[in-house]
A and B are shown apart, each in its own frame.
Chain A
Amino acid sequence: MNQTVIKIEGLSKTYCIRQVGTGTLCHDLNRLWHKIRGKEDPYLKIGEVNDRSSQGQTCFSKALDEISFDILQGQILGIIGRNGAGKSTLLKIISKITTPSTGIVKLKGKVASLLEVGTGFRTDLTGRENIFLNGTIMGMGAKEIKQKLDEIVDFAGVSRYLDTPVKRYSSGMLVRLGFAVAAFLEPDILIVDEVLAVGDAEFRKKAIGKLGEISHDRNRTVLFVSHNMGAIKSICDRTIVLNKGQLVFDGETDLAIQHYLNDVSTVSDVDLANRSDRNGNGQLRFEDFTMTNKMDESIPVVCTGMHIKFNFNIDVKEALKKTKVFATFRSSSGYTLFICSNFFSNDFYDLEPGKYKITMDLPRFPLSSGQYAIDLKVTSGKTVLDEIESAVTLDVENGDFFGSGRIVTSKNGVLIDHTSSIQRIEH
């Protein structure tokens, strides 16, 4: 039977999210004063639930809140959650980079963390020198590295460039080399944070295969953080879901992913009424935004290929003729990907004062995983009535667009319906 290698009990971490400034010294002195009198840290108690969308009362927030769980030897544990859920903080505590505010972690064995590929690479050093430097940073002996050198170089596919400074490497080579150093040095516990976000599909496949091998064949433990549900699904035996610093699910990977996608407490309702960064003459204003599925139930996350409705509530102050509503979907780098509008169907809206709900119905959502922004604009003739840039930021998760059972994992792209066929034209 496999033994427990990591035991986490009541782990919490409070961060001060304010910038260091002149107030800091004052806080420090106050803290010291409490300590001298043997009292508790006065700033530790006022941590509150870490909700990004509401501004906190204090500058202290809990990144992790009373987390407890065990990990068995040989397990690949997936950790998922939205950005800011506390995944990285958890990994940083386990790998000793930072300390918890309260709670305890017990470990068995050597831990290596791959929180970022190629940590500590020096661009002026050669590939070989960097392998040694990187390996020793992760606590390995030079002898051990020498033994594994050939395997590392082979996996990374850099044998030809071993004595070239890594600044001449392509970014793909750097990623492969960084991953190979950590994966081949065989720590008892390997911590991997979102490294598969970089690198091409072939590397991802190879890396996932290697992680599976480390855990199943060599009985090592892997902690794996990713936003790539496909990758999580394919290798994790068990997955935990974090939300606002709390452990909300722990169990089978499929159920965990489902739980994560359905997590209703996440932001699906965006208040637009109070946005001040808007243009337009104010005869009409966007009030809020919601996302629903085809049964009009509120949903938190969009998946590629899903039937989805975007609803915008507007407040009309004066009677308006022939209004056109535009929702422009942009990639995170700012390019327009597609536009939804009543303009294209020549179905202009004539509005009386009052409140309306505009629904845009997309039977198969075409964007692949990544982050996108939606710009909103209403015009009447040439007059801009209301315009908000980046009114909504949209996190899209991988999904099955083509209904073929294949999860599309490409990042930041538009998928379109198409067919592909082949015909022999000559014998």
Chain B
Amino acid sequence: MEQWTEIINSDGNSFSSQINGLWKYRDLILELVKRDFILYYKQTLLGPLWFIIQPILTVIVFTLVFGQMAGISTDGLPCMLFYLAGVTFWNYFSESFRQIAGSFIENQNVYSKVYFPRFIIPVSIVISNLIKLGLYFVLLAGFYIYYINHGYELRPNYYILLLPVLIATMGMLSMGMGMIIASLTCKYRDLKFLLSFGIQLMMYVTPVIYPLSATPEKYRFLFLINPMTIIIETFKFSILGKGSFSFMNLFYGIIITLIIFFLSLVIYAKIEKDFIDTI
């Protein structure tokens, strides 16, 4: 009989059709990633160099303030390297999180004029930040080689093979948290005010500028609630050989991340169908 390719009713777009949309709109994801990259340095003199300058300046300031002035322990590792390892991961997470959380409101103009699965933009943000993460890794490798040549004893170990797991977990965490905030801010703008200083505060309870071993033992479990703590700590341990690692913690961090991620999908599915009316 009659073959309809699309049925629109009050239930909105079914989740499976949106997942299919991910493939159907793959060229859009690619375009968005490309655009993000190009726009980043359009009309700048230094161009793509900015991707490198930013982390270097951050690390220098951290070294001066936290390393020299405050004298916070880095587990005996070179300050620059220790901070860069933390900043590499933290910047990926915070940037993705911030961009995704603001993406629904920022793109409401497009959303209200044309349909494509709404989570295409968050997905493109996660991917385009992966490219920036890659550049950070190149920089990190540069510092790493420099310090090895200068006789520092760094003990990378086989846990480095966990790197893809760490990155995937971090990507999912940023997307999950970002989509929850993005979905809720559609209706309640209050969260927007919380976001930027929330991210800033979160950095201080994540071992970016200090090792987990510097936290008071009594309250350490509080730090471990945050999956980013485990991710960054595991990463530092795997390449620098200092710090702590346990499969138990990692497993636990992944579970929390999955819960957040699925929760975000549930909330997203709930608001997706008519968020353009409430935004």
- Tell me if B256 counts as interface (CB < 8 A to partner A): no
Tell me whether A95 and B31 are in contact (CB under 8 A).
Answer: no
0 or 1 for each of A84-97: is its CB under 8 Å from B? (1 = yes): 00000000111111
Asked if A15 meets B31 with Cβ closer than 8 Å, knowing A99-B12, A113-B114, A138-B114, the reply is: no
A136 touches B8 (CB 8 A): no
- Indicate if the CB atoms of B8 and A93 lie closer than 8 Å: yes
**Which bucket holds chain A's interface residue count?**
35 or more
Cβ–Cβ contact B35 & A133, under 8 A: yes
CB-defined interface of B25-49 with A at 8 Å, one 1/0 digit per residue? 1011011101100110011000000
In the complex, the chain B residue whose C-beta lies closest to that of A97 is B115
Q: Which residues of A contact B10 (CB under 8 A)?
A: 99-103
16 contacts between A and B (CB under 8 A): A7-B4, A20-B278, A95-B115, A96-B6, A96-B13, A97-B113, A99-B10, A99-B273, A106-B8, A107-B8, A108-B6, A119-B110, A119-B113, A125-B42, A136-B31, A142-B27
Nearest first, the 5 A-B pairs at minimum CB distance are A96-B115, A136-B28, A105-B8, A107-B6, A119-B113
Say yes or no for B53: interface residue by CB 8 A criterion: no
A122 and B43 alpha carbons, distance in the complex (Å): 14
Q: Nearest-CB distance from B94 to chain A (Å)?
A: 24
> Which residues does chain B contribute within 8 Å of A108, judged by CB atoms?
3-6
Within the assembled complex, what's the spacing in Å between the Cα atoms of A96 and B10? Answer: 11
**Is the C-beta of B11 less than 8 angstroms from some C-beta in chain A?**
yes
Q: Give the residue of B35, B115, B188 whose beta carbon is less than 8 angstroms from that of A125.
A: B35
Task: Check: B112 CB closer than 8 A to any chain A CB.
Answer: yes
Indicate if the CB atoms of A136 and B278 lie closer than 8 Å: no
A129 and B9 contact, CB distance less than 8 A: no
Complex contact A20–B187 (CB within 8 A): yes
Complex Cα distance A141/B34, Å? Answer: 15
Listed residue (B32, B111, B274) with the most chain A CB atoms within 10 angstroms of its CB? B274
Could you list which residues of chain A lie within 8 angstroms of chain B, going by C-beta atoms?
Answer: 3-4, 7, 15-16, 20, 24-25, 92-111, 113, 115-116, 119-120, 122, 124-125, 129, 132-133, 136-142, 165
B109: chain A residues within 8 A (beta carbon): 119-120
Asked whether, in the complex, the Cβ of A98 is within 8 Å of the Cβ of B110, the reply is no
> Does B248 have its Cβ within 8 Å of any Cβ on chain A?
no
A124 to B37, CA, bound (A): 12
Beta-carbon contact of A120 and B277 below 8 Å: no
Interface assignment of B152: CB less than 8 Å from any CB of chain A: no
- Supposing A99-B273, A100-B10, A120-B110 touch, asked if A109 and B5 sit within 8 A by C-beta, the answer is yes
Q: Apart from A20-B187, A24-B187, A108-B4, what 20 extra A-B contacts exist at CB < 8 Å?
A: A94-B8, A95-B115, A96-B13, A97-B115, A98-B273, A98-B276, A98-B277, A100-B9, A100-B10, A105-B7, A107-B8, A119-B110, A119-B114, A122-B35, A129-B35, A129-B38, A137-B110, A138-B114, A142-B30, A142-B31
Residues of A contacting B38 with CB < 8 Å?
125, 129
Query: Which residue of A101, A105, A133, A139 has the most chain B CB atoms within 10 A of its CB atom?
Result: A139
Contact for B115 among A4, A105, A113, CB less than 8 A: A113
Chain B positions 120 through 134: 1 when the CB is less than 8 Å from some CB of chain A, otherwise 0: 000000000000000
List residues of chain A with CB within 8 A of the CB of B31.
132-133, 136, 142
A106–B7 Cα distance when bound, in Å, is 5
Q: Among A105, A106, A165, find the residue whose CB has the most chain B CB atoms closer than 10 A.
A: A106
Q: Does B159 contact A (CB under 8 A)?
A: no
Q: Find chain A residues with CB under 8 A from B15 CB.
A: none
A237 vs chain B, min Cβ distance (A):
22
The docked-state distance in angstroms from the alpha carbon of A95 to that of B113 is 9
A51 to B31, CA, bound (A): 43
A142 to B31: give the CA distance in the assembly, Å: 9
Determine if B35 and A98 form an interchain contact, defined as CB atoms under 8 angstroms apart.
no
Count of chain B residues with a beta carbon within 8 Å of a chain A beta carbon: 40
Q: Which B residues touch A25, using CB under 8 A?
A: 188
Chain A residues, CB < 8 A from B24 = 139
Nearest residue (CB) in A for B120 is A137
- Inter-subunit contact A120/B187 (CB<8 Å): no
CA distance A105 to B274 in the complex (A): 16
User: Are B43 and A15 in contact, with the CB atoms below 8 A?
Assistant: no
With a cutoff of 8 Å between Cβ atoms, the chain A residues found around residue B8 in the complex are 93-94, 96, 99-100, 104-107
Shortest distance between the CB of A18 and any CB in chain B (Å): 11
- CB neighbours (8 Å) of A136 from chain B are 25, 27-28, 30-31
Complex: chain B residue closest to A119, CB-CB: B113
| Residues in B79-137 with C-beta less than 8 Å from chain A | 109-116
Contacts of A24 in B (CB 8 A): 187-188
Q: Please determine whether B13 and A106 come into contact, CB atoms closer than 8 angstroms.
A: no
- A139–B8 CA distance with the chains assembled, in angstroms: 17
Give the contacting residue for B11; candidates A95, A99, A125, A140; CB below 8 A.
A99
Residue of B nearest to A96 (CB): B115
Kindly state the separation between the CA atoms of A165 and B42 in the bound complex, as whole angstroms. 10
Inter-chain contacts of B2 with A (CB < 8 A): 3-4
Shortest C-beta distance, A181 to chain B (Å), equals 11
The residue on A at minimum CB distance from B32 is A133
The CA-CA distance from A226 to B6 in the complex, in Å, is 26
Q: Knowing A99-B274, A103-B9, A105-B8 touch, does A120 contact B114 (C-beta < 8 A)?
A: yes
Query: Which chain B positions have C-beta within 8 A of A142?
Result: 27, 30-31
CA distance A314 to B149 in the complex (A): 96
Q: A24 to nearest B CB, angstroms?
A: 7
- Given A102-B10, A124-B39, A115:B4 Cβ within 8 A: no
A106 touches B114 (CB 8 A): no
Residues A124 and B43 in contact in the complex (CB < 8 Å), given A107-B6, A142-B31: yes
Assess whether A104 is in contact with B110, with CB atoms less than 8 Å apart.
no
A95 to B110, CA, bound (A): 13
Rounded to whole Å, the gap between the CB of A111 and the closest CB of chain B is: 8
Residues of A within 8 A of B3 (CB): 108
Whole-angstrom CA separation of A105 from B10 in the bound complex: 10
Q: Are A125 and B39 in contact (CB under 8 A)?
A: yes
Asked whether A97 lies within 8 Å of B7 as measured between CB atoms, the reply is no
The complex places the Cα of A111 from the Cα of B115 at a distance, in Å, of: 9
Q: Is the CB of A106 within 8 A of B4?
A: yes
Minimum Cβ distance to chain A for residue B272 (Å): 9
Q: List residues of chain B with CB within 8 A of the CB of A122.
A: 35, 39
Which A residues lie within 8 Å of B42 (CB)? Answer: 124-125, 165
Residues of A within 8 Å of B6, CB to CB, are: 96, 105-108, 111
* Per-residue contact bits, chain B 235-279, to A (CB 8 Å; 1 contact, 0 not): 000000000000000000000000000000000000001101110
Residues from chain A with Cβ under 8 Å of B35 in the complex: 122, 125, 129, 133
